[in-house]
Structure 1
């Protein structure tokens, strides 16, 4: 569900060309780059939140925002992001995915923006599964 909602939001933002929201997306990616360079997971998670919020807000679709918030309020989202980026190489991969989403938005190609966002959410979910497995393994060996 998150994949569909966020993909749709990225497509809408791209088509609308909302400059203020796109500027916020750029700023979030710049902060993510600093976070990866410094290996600062807290800054990365905060920047990730800013990135996704800017896209959702920039889509200016109240129904989309409602369903997205309804979904996120049911899960410990930040905890999931931390687990995902703790997987080896996932922090850098996640940054690259966010950069590709930004590039697609800037290109004005709605389909590419939606597709790259959906791919990112899917890869994040796979990272989360690995992160959960890693944590369970660590907990069971201690």
Structure 2
């Protein structure tokens, strides 16, 4: 499987932002569901990984956080499209690279905590925008990591 071009990564992140933002908004509207407890547990485990500077474990937990957020939205079409996108994005490899940026582990964890606070507070619009912001931060870290490893500057045309 070939690595996606820089343009493909940017376009896929644009879709990821939309789908995960929608997931956060829909989950916030559901109230107290089991996925919220699973997200809390994920954040606790993520905090331990960040404290240990364990980027590999954190990368796995990041994938779990995003998957729980989307599945918790209880929209089968959203889940189907999201999983197709994640397969196209080679997400785990990209996230692992993005987490090499100094300070990114802690930033990502803080962003996850903020999204979950808004979801728990039933602030669907706030949760959607916080999730979109988080995905954009992840995209920037991913493109920066690619640039450091000899990729092109982060432009959509590449």
TM-score range, shorter chain: over 0.9
Whole-Å separation in 1 of the counterparts to 2:142 and 2:16: 14
Q: Which has the higher helix share?
A: 1
Gaps spanning 5+ residues in structure 2: where? 1-14, 152-158
Q: Which residue of 2 aligns with 1:117?
A: 131
Match status 1:136 vs 2:150: yes
* Superposed CA RMSD: 1.1
SS at match of 2:102: coil
Shift of 1:18: 4.4
Which of the numbers 45, 54, 66 marks the counterpart of 1:40?
54
- How many residues were matched structurally? 137
Q: Which residue of 2 aligns with 1:28?
A: 42
TM-score scaled by structure 1? 0.93
TM-score scaled by structure 2? 0.83
Q: Which residue of 1 aligns with 2:99?
A: 85
Shift of 1:134: 1.1
Checking the alignment, whether the CA contact within 8 Å between 1:24 and 1:50 is kept in structure 2 is no
Match status 1:12 vs 2:26: yes
Match status 1:101 vs 2:115: yes
